[in-house]
């Protein structure tokens, strides 16, 4: 049988799952990614708040797939797709394919607000987490010698967007403020340090159940987080945030978690890209108008009877779309019927802090200690290697028992004072 060549763009949840499921005996696979490692996105916030080391949630792609003889890996950036020639152009040259699978995921959506994009921090990569950690820890060092005017800008940590990432960040920062930082910096009055969470909709975790909305807001307020809903950031100049209600907040540490937009590849017909930059695909993830180009995960927009506005951009959707597509490729090679994809909602969850989480399952909604335990267990199960599972579990157990962590390192080039600062 003539082996077909598949090019896969992206090593996220969808890319990893597709590669693992693809039949090694039928296809050759070229995996292309700008990074040489898979990033476990749900725990980025723990890197940003000094709870986990970056290596704990980062997995070298060559290590993950070293036993798959049909898989080659290239670390490069895709510049464009030439659908007529069945090739992609990258920074290291062109590659041809029989089938192209796009799993390029999403990036931060600043909604056209260029000043916010220039000065605020985003949290879409492990490296973003490192930059935030560096900047926040450095701000506490700077507080020791700052005058009163400067302190005003350093004593506000502002998080924009109260989805799961924003809520988890706010809760985590509140915990280290309340339990860890006063031990490290006894000369700083951390009662003055404000954690401010801004949200444009009516509630935190607005896409979840009423129980999750109310419980998350209550938890955050009890932890000392200032929650401001129904507000939108109009401008940020690196020092002062201006809201749509005219209010201003002084802060040099603003983290933007308010939305995502797709990592679109040039060369694909723009007519089949929906507003939030996702490729329109059919029920088998084939991009509309193409015969051999597919999209899976966050970048794919699939309308079904159950989800007429497309599936939610969740890891579970990406993983199962990828597995279904890999099975369909085998069916295609063996001239068997293809299986259409539909998402089965297994639930959503978010953690706010120690013993504090919310879980929405199709048949029950709950919060508290048991929800927190479920959140930890399921996230541990998704971690790729046994070694990393153990490292994360040990870190969590140590943090739980001692309310402390030893990971508060500022990792940057001492000769580059501005390293870790957002740039436009």
Instruction: Specify the pLDDT at position 258.
Output: 92
Distance between CA atoms of 132 and 269, rounded to whole angstroms? 36
CA-based diameter of the chain, in Å? Answer: 74
Instruction: Specify the pLDDT at position 98.
Output: 97
Whether the per-residue pLDDT at 421 is higher than 70: the answer is no
Whether the per-residue pLDDT at 413 is higher than 80: the answer is no
Instruction: Specify the pLDDT at position 423.
Output: 54
Q: Does residue 254 sit within a domain?
A: yes
**Whether residues 321 and 363 fall in one domain:** no
pLDDT tens digits for range 199-252: 999 999 999 999 999 999 999 999 999 999 999 999 999 999 999 999 999 999
Q: Does residue 67 sit within a domain?
A: no
The backbone torsions φ and ψ at residue 398, rounded to the nearest 5 degrees and listed phi first, read -65, -45
Across all residues in the chain, what is the average pLDDT?
A: 93
**Whether residues 157 and 27 fall in one domain:** no
Instruction: Specify the pLDDT at position 422.
Output: 73
Domain that holds residue 367: 114-258+354-402
The answer to whether the Cα torsion of 375, 381, 383, 388 is positive or negative is: positive
pLDDT tens digits for range 240-288: 999 999 999 999 999 999 989 999 999 999 999 998 899 999 999 999 9
Q: Does residue 416 sit within a domain?
A: no
**Cβ-based neighbours of 79, under 8 Å, separated by 6 or more:** 88, 89, 90, 91, 266
**Which residue, 104, 83, 32, 99, is CA-closest to 296?**
104
pLDDT tens digits for range 288-305: 999 999 999 999 999 999
Q: What is the DSSP string of 346-360?
A: --EEEEEETTEEEEE
Question: How far is C-alpha 323 from the chain's CA centre?
Answer: 20
Q: Does residue 30 sit within a domain?
A: yes
Whether the per-residue pLDDT at 2 is higher than 90: the answer is no
Instruction: Specify the pLDDT at position 398.
Output: 83
Residues in the chain: 424
Interval 180-207 mean pLDDT: 94
Q: Does residue 213 sit within a domain?
A: yes
**Whether residues 300 and 204 fall in one domain:** no
Q: What's the distance, Cα to Cα, between the start and end of the chain in Å?
A: 51
Last residue of a domain, one of 333, 367, 394: 333
**Whether residues 281 and 391 fall in one domain:** no
pLDDT classification of 346: cutoffs 50, 70, 90: confident
**Whether residues 98 and 222 fall in one domain:** no
Q: Does residue 311 sit within a domain?
A: yes
Interval 362-377 mean pLDDT: 94
Instruction: Specify the pLDDT at position 424.
Output: 44
Distance between CA atoms of 412 and 402, rounded to whole angstroms? 28
Interval 153-174 mean pLDDT: 96
**Whether residues 370 and 396 fall in one domain:** yes
**Whether residues 254 and 163 fall in one domain:** yes
Distance between CA atoms of 218 and 229, rounded to whole angstroms? 13
pLDDT classification of 384: cutoffs 50, 70, 90: confident
Q: How many domains is the chain partitioned into structurally? A: 2
**Whether residues 240 and 361 fall in one domain:** yes
The answer to whether the Cα torsion of 159, 162, 167, 169 is positive or negative is: negative
**Whether residues 203 and 133 fall in one domain:** yes
Q: Which residues of 125-149 are buried (b: 16+ CB within 10 A; e: fewer)?
A: bbebbbbbbbbbbbbbeebeeeeee
Whether the per-residue pLDDT at 404 is higher than 90: the answer is no
pLDDT tens digits for range 160-169: 999 999 999 9
pLDDT tens digits for range 117-141: 999 999 999 999 999 999 999 999 9
Instruction: Specify the pLDDT at position 67.
Output: 92
CATH at residue 326: 3.50.50.60
**Whether residues 8 and 84 fall in one domain:** yes
Q: Does residue 409 sit within a domain?
A: no
Instruction: Specify the pLDDT at position 406.
Output: 60
**Whether residues 173 and 310 fall in one domain:** no
**Whether residues 227 and 366 fall in one domain:** yes
CATH at residue 389: 3.50.50.100
Q: Does residue 215 sit within a domain?
A: yes
Q: Three-state DSSP class for 267?
A: coil
């Amino acid at each position: 049988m003539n082996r077909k060549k598949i090019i896969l763009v992206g090593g996220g949840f969808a890319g990893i799952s597709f590669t693992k499921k693809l039949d090694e005996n039928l296809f050759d696979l070229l995996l292309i990614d700008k990074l040489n490692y898979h990033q476990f996105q749900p725990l980025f916030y723990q890197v940003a708040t000094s709870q986990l080391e970056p290596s704990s949630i980062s997995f070298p792609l060559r290590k993950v797939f070293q036993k798959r003889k049909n898989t080659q890996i290239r670390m490069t950036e895709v510049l464009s797709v030439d659908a007529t020639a069945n090739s992609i152009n990258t920074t290291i040259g062109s590659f041809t394919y029989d089938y192209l699978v796009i799993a390029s995921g999403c990036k931060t959506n600043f909604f056209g607000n260029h000043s916010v994009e220039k000065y605020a921090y985003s949290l879409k990569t492990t490296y973003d987490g490192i930059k935030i950690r560096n900047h926040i820890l450095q701000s506490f060092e700077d507080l020791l010698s700052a005058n009163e005017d400067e302190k005003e800008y350093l004593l506000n940590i502002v998080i924009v967007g109260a989805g799961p990432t924003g809520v988890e960040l706010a809760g985590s920062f509140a915990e280290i403020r309340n339990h860890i930082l006063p031990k490290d910096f006894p000369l700083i009055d951390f009662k003055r340090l404000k954690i401010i969470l801004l949200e444009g909709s009516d509630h935190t975790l607005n896409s979840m159940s009423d129980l999750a909305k109310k419980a998350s807001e209550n938890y955050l307020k009890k932890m000392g987080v200032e929650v401001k809903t129904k507000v939108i950031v109009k401008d940020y100049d690196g020092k002062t945030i201006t809201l749509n209600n005219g209010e201003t907040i002084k802060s040099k540490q603003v983290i933007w978690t308010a939305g995502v937009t797709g990592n679109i590849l040039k060369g694909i017909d723009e007519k089949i890209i929906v507003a939030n930059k996702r490729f329109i695909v059919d029920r088998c993830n084939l991009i509309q108008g193409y015969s051999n180009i597919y999209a899976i995960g966050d970048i794919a927009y699939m309308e079904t009877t159950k989800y007429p506005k497309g599936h939610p951009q969740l890891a579970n959707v990406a993983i199962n779309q990828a597995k279904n597509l890999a099975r369909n490729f085998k069916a295609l090679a063996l001239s068997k019927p293809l299986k259409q994809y539909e998402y089965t909602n297994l639930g959503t969850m978010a953690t706010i802090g120690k013993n504090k989480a919310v879980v929405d399952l199709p048949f029950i909604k709950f919060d508290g200690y048991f929800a927190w335990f479920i959140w930890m267990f399921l996230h541990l199960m998704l971690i790729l290697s046994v070694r990393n599972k153990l490292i994360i579990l040990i870190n969590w157990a140590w943090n739980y028992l001692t309310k402390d962590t030893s990971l508060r390192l500022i990792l940057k080039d001492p000769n580059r004072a501005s390293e870790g600062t957002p740039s436009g």
